Amino acid sequence: MDNKALIEQGKSFLGIEFGSTRIKAVVIDDKGKVLATGGHGWENRLDNGVWTYTLDDIWGGLKDCYADLLKDIRTKYDTTVTSFAGIGFSAMMHGYLAFDKNDELLVPFRTWRNTMTGQAAEELTAAFDYNIPQRWSISHLYQAILNGEAHVPDVAFFTTLAGYVHYKLTGRKVLGVGDASGMFPIDTATGDYDKKMVDKFGELVKDKGYGWTLTDILPRVLNAGDDAGTLTEEGAKLLDPSGALKAGIPLCPPEGDAGTGMVATNSVAKRTGNISAGTSIFAMVVLEKPLTKVYPEIDLVTTPDGALVGMVHCNNCTSEINAWVNMFKEFYELMGQTPDMNELFTKLYSVALKGDADCGGLLSYNYVSGEPVTGFEDGAPLFVRKADDKFSLPNVMRMHLYSAFAALKIGLDILFKQEHVEVDEMLGHGGYFKTEKVGQSFAAAAIHAPVSVMETAGEGGAWGMAILAAYMAGKNGRSLGDYLNSEIFADCKGAKLAPTDADIEGFENFMTKYRKGLAIEKAAVEAL
């Protein structure tokens, strides 16, 4: 069946993801081939000290994204859309969307970006003996309780952005296990919220006299491939105001952006992982067993099919590199030339391969903002060297690329060196890996394991979400990992690169200086 017929007969799959700066829609066939895309740019806003998106932002953005998708379909296939074989929604994880019994939003959406829940996160981590980061939904709820906020007694339901959109389109208060694991800890043995921690939370708030319990107000947890409801008449109109889209389309469990990233890089099986490196950087490793202790540097979440994942998230990655590349652009312009930015990035990244394995002793910190993994609430980008260090363009660029990965390496070293987690390979995606072999070589050296960059890695979370919708329809008793290997990635090409001993030694020498130099960064932050 050709692509036009697939779309006309409602046999394609739609995935939509709400990212931090863009809402993206992707339509695929049952093998994961992209048939059409759409998008809508948006930005969060700081409103009375809270990073938020309004409900109008959410629904206006969704409608515009879907309309852009329809435009792409009309251009490519000269047809209209009335149905899909499956739909899935994903979004930024964590945050706080709380509603009363009448489905009225009680307070503006508090996104993952907010850092107002420090006390709650610290107290819950101690109470649960489990790392509860500030951005998690339960931290937001408990902080509101600690603050004595007036809305808390009226909470009838709270969820993530993906869970909210799914609820409005289906009437089902559910969440995929991966997204749910960023609301409240999951017991991987049961695939549900950890009962001991739910009970512990009940003890913490029992004297408040609320008319709800935690299990009353959390969304129900579903596994990848589970039935998550169908598109209602009202939901169809929210997505497509023209009325062309029919109700009754199956929806898969809504997921978080971490989960869709795992699907998009085929890293849901144990001993696999992925690194997403762009403006920020995070890595996820699917664990074979629980960690032996609590580490504030490591979040524990799950894959979309409920396997335990250790995640290290860092705020800073390529922004400082971009600033330096822009300086070279200004030099070009000063000399009366107009540079090709893709070529400029490629050449500057590539020259780093000619640098010394330890960057010639050069040291930098890419802390445009604070970096929790290394204990910084604020940052100050810093470049420091001794007079006898080897100051050259290859070493400068290599230094910046090492620095972009260094904070992440500190967290990953806990997994690999202290917890002895084993990984067969890591999948890299994002701007850091765009130039062939460069970021890939340095990442492999940092983690002492092969790193692969797949040709599909750039498709993104909306593509991963569409695949989860297709999995619900075509799993046929297979696990998610088996389905991905046999149906989506069977013919996918990727370049695997193992680290060299010299690069490993060089990166470790850089990290020795980096750890000692954190005192210099601390002084810079305080002085500036």
CA distances to 17, 54, 65 from 61, in Å: 11, 10, 6
pTM above 0.75, yes or no: yes
pLDDT digits (tens, 9 = 90+) for 344-355: 999 999 999 999
Neighbours of 336 (CB within 10 A): 6
- pLDDT of 508 above 70: yes
Whether 212 and 204 have beta carbons less than 8 Å apart is answered as no
**Domain assignment of residue 370, yes or no:** yes
Whether 455 and 493 have beta carbons less than 8 Å apart is answered as yes
- pLDDT of 114 above 90: no
Whether 428 and 444 have beta carbons less than 8 Å apart is answered as no
Task: Tell which residue, 224, 242, 81, 228, has the closest CA to residue 165.
Answer: 228
Whether 260 and 464 have beta carbons less than 8 Å apart is answered as yes
> What mean pLDDT comes out for the span 436-444?
95
C-alpha 427/C-alpha 406 separation (Å) is 18
pLDDT confidence of residue 356: 98
Cα distance from N-terminal residue to C-terminal residue, the chain: 63
pLDDT confidence of residue 457: 58
C-alpha 427/C-alpha 61 separation (Å) is 31
Beta-strand (E) ranges in 182-219?
186-187, 192-193
The radius of gyration of the chain's CA atoms, rounded to the nearest angstrom, is 23
Q: Is 172 left (phi over 0), alpha (psi -120 to 50) or beta?
A: beta
- pLDDT of 460 above 90: no
pLDDT confidence of residue 458: 60
Q: In b/e form, how buried is each residue of 281-290, taking b as 16+ CB within 10 angstroms?
A: bbbbbbbeee
Whether 13 and 27 have beta carbons less than 8 Å apart is answered as yes
Structure confidence at residue 299 as a pLDDT band (50, 70, 90): very high
DSSP 476-496: TT--HHHHIIIIISTT--EEE
**Domain assignment of residue 440, yes or no:** no
Burial of 420 from C-beta contacts in 10 A (0-12 / 13-18 / 19+)? exposed
Q: Which residue type sits at 264? A: A
pLDDT digits (tens, 9 = 90+) for 40-77: 999 999 899 899 999 999 999 999 999 999 999 999 99
Q: Which two tokens stand for residue 487?
A: 């149906």
Task: Tell which residue, 94, 111, 219, has the closest CA to residue 155.
Answer: 219
Beta-carbon contacts of residue 224 (< 8 Å; ≥ 6 apart): 176, 177, 252, 253, 255, 303, 304, 305, 306, 468, 471, 472, 480
> What mean pLDDT comes out for the span 402-424?
95
**Domain assignment of residue 467, yes or no:** no
More confident residue, 392 or 313: 392
Task: Tell which residue, 274, 328, 293, 238, has the closest CA to residue 450.
Answer: 274
Counting the structural domains of the chain, the total is 1
Beta-carbon contacts of residue 526 (< 8 Å; ≥ 6 apart): none
- pLDDT of 515 above 80: yes
**Domain assignment of residue 4, yes or no:** no
More confident residue, 494 or 412: 412
pLDDT confidence of residue 324: 97
Can you tell me which residue has the tokens 């629980």?
A: 290
Sign, CA dihedral 479-482-487-488, equals: positive
> What mean pLDDT comes out for the span 446-459?
81
Neighbours of 38 (CB within 10 A): 22
> What mean pLDDT comes out for the span 192-215?
97
Structure confidence at residue 378 as a pLDDT band (50, 70, 90): confident
C-alpha 415/C-alpha 400 separation (Å) is 24
More confident residue, 306 or 369: 306
Whether 169 and 239 have beta carbons less than 8 Å apart is answered as yes
User: Nearest-5° angle of CA 350, CA 356, CA 357?
Assistant: 95
pLDDT confidence of residue 456: 67
| Percent above pLDDT 90 for the chain | 87
**Domain assignment of residue 14, yes or no:** no
pLDDT confidence of residue 494: 76
C-alpha 398/C-alpha 412 separation (Å) is 20
**Domain assignment of residue 378, yes or no:** yes
Structure confidence at residue 374 as a pLDDT band (50, 70, 90): very high
pLDDT confidence of residue 502: 97
Domain of 325, in residue numbers = 319-404+501-527
**Domain assignment of residue 173, yes or no:** no
| Percent above pLDDT 70 for the chain | 99
> What mean pLDDT comes out for the span 435-458?
88
Q: For the chain, what's the residue count?
A: 528
C-alpha 52/C-alpha 30 separation (Å) is 36
**Domain assignment of residue 387, yes or no:** yes
